[in-house]
Structure 1
Amino acid sequence: MNDALLEIHNFLPCRTPQQWIDNALANQDLMLIDHAHCEKKAASTALSLMYRYVDNTDLLNKMSRLAREELRHFEQVLAIMEKRGVRYAHLTPARYAAGLRKEVRAEDPGRLVDVLIVGAIIEARSCERFAALAPHLDEKLSEFYNGLLKSEARHYRDYLDLAEQAAGEPVEHRIDSFLELERQLIESPDTEFRFHSGPVWPCEVGIGGS
């Protein structure tokens, strides 16, 4: 295990449940569709931060790089889907990101700190799930997911560094609060499979309009 992944495992409150991995392997087309949506949303989040906090040079630089990388990942997922005959489609959103963001404070600087912490957690969970899935996937998809680990781990660290910078002090108490919420979202049963869903019992496919 590389140092970045070990740090991710130490940061997150729990590992992905085996049932979710089983769900993903049984619904790989759906997994890819939602993965593409996740990459696009990640780029959108980075751009929205750039528009809102125009006087934060460090944030602007890191989010600009992150947005470019996430859009490149989006393009790569679309290319993989095209080769596999998987059609990109609208999906109903997972409860995961909305569940985390409901605890974000309304006013700055607390709002920015919390949004950045949520971003760090989402990137860390993505990294953990890529690593958990890779050994079970075909060679090409496994290689792609393993290749994403480095950038996702860096995005997680960038978000955390920016959160501490925005707060002007350690933010462990806020991180711990969001991590406990994340653990509940990851471990509790979900109604439909998504890349960041909890385990689905039984395994279900959930494609629908959003």
Structure 2
Amino acid sequence: MSSIDYDQLMQPVIHFLGCNTPQAWLDEAKNNLELLMQDHANCEKKAASTAMNLMFRYSFFSDLQVRLAQLVREEMLHYEQVLGFMHRRGQSWQALSAGRYAGGLRKEVRTYEPEALIDILIIGAFVEARSCERFYALAPIVDDELGRYYRYLLKSESRHFEDYIALAKDVATTHKLKNINETIAERIEYFKTVEQDLILSPDPVFRFHSGVPVA
């Protein structure tokens, strides 16, 4: 673990996102670790559920099936691990409402195929990249045990966003869309702007992917 250069590992992630987590969110996180852990567990479960839904909806993409199946297994493993942390710390499960982040991204998805699937995969890339960036930012400010776990997640998840972009390009290639790289790059830039606004603007609900906390 000590030989890993986490700063270097995160460079592609930060470049892809274009903005860091605001300090105000990190300050709030330090005082709300139980809520953060609960929502982290929810995020892992939702990620697995989203991947499963895509597997059923787009079963005719064989490459997509294999990669999504791998993702489901990994996300559910992380879900179990977070539940283990909660149990060891005496934290009971509580229902939490969803934040605005995922919905704010999904409302920008185009309504026709294959463009809708391409957008969903690009959104998946941003969700994964933001999760990694937050693990990276949180690791030095939480307790040692949790910090080690977040760094472990960085190792395993830091390239997930690239997998999603590769899948988006595969879908575009299968459907013989024109100017694939240019088209994908345009949608990435579009969602980058949307994602940055969700992260940098005031947000009344504190969650793992929320924006600047409202006092």
Structure 1 segments unaligned to the other structure (5+ residues): 203-210
Q: Name the residue aligned to 2:203.
A: 190
Q: Name the residue aligned to 1:205.
A: none
Amino acid of the residue matched to residue 85 of structure 1?
G
Correspondences of 1:60-139 after superposition (within 5 Å): 60-139=65-144
* Structure 2 residue matching 1:135: 3-state secondary structure: coil
* 1:96 to 1:166, Cα distance in 2 relative to 1, 3 A: same
The alpha-carbon deviation at position 154 of structure 1 amounts to 2.5
The alpha-carbon deviation at position 188 of structure 1 amounts to 0.4
* Structure 1 residue matching 2:112: 3-state secondary structure: coil
**Residues 16-40 of structure 1: CA distance to partner in whole angstroms, max 9, x if unpaired?**
0000001111100000000000000
The whole-number CA distance in structure 2 between the counterparts of 1:4 and 1:115 is 25
The alpha-carbon deviation at position 86 of structure 1 amounts to 1.1
- Where does structure 1 differ by over 3 angstroms across 4 or more consecutive aligned residues? 1-4
Amino acid of the residue matched to residue 33 of structure 2?
Q
Q: Name the residue aligned to 1:50.
A: 55
* Structure 2 residue matching 1:94: 3-state secondary structure: coil
* Structure 2 residue matching 1:136: 3-state secondary structure: coil
Q: Is 1:37 aligned to residue 42 of structure 2? A: yes
Amino acid of the residue matched to residue 103 of structure 2?
A
Q: Is 1:199 aligned to residue 212 of structure 2? A: yes
148-157 or 137-146: bigger deviation: 148-157
TM-score where L is the length of structure 2 = 0.92
Contact 1:186 1:199 in 2 (8 A): yes
The alpha-carbon deviation at position 157 of structure 1 amounts to 1.3
The alpha-carbon deviation at position 2 of structure 1 amounts to 4.8
The whole-number CA distance in structure 1 between the counterparts of 2:12 and 2:191 is 17
Greater relative contact order structure (CA < 8 Å, 6+ sep):
1
The whole-number CA distance in structure 2 between the counterparts of 1:9 and 1:172 is 16
Give the number of aligned pairs: 202
The whole-number CA distance in structure 1 between the counterparts of 2:62 and 2:102 is 26
Contact 1:23 1:199 in 2 (8 A): no
1:172 to 160, 185, 192: 185
* Structure 2 residue matching 1:195: 3-state secondary structure: coil
**Residues 144-182 of structure 1: CA distance to partner in whole angstroms, max 9, x if unpaired?**
000001222222111010011112211000000000000
The whole-number CA distance in structure 1 between the counterparts of 2:117 and 2:8 is 28
TM-score where L is the length of structure 1 = 0.94
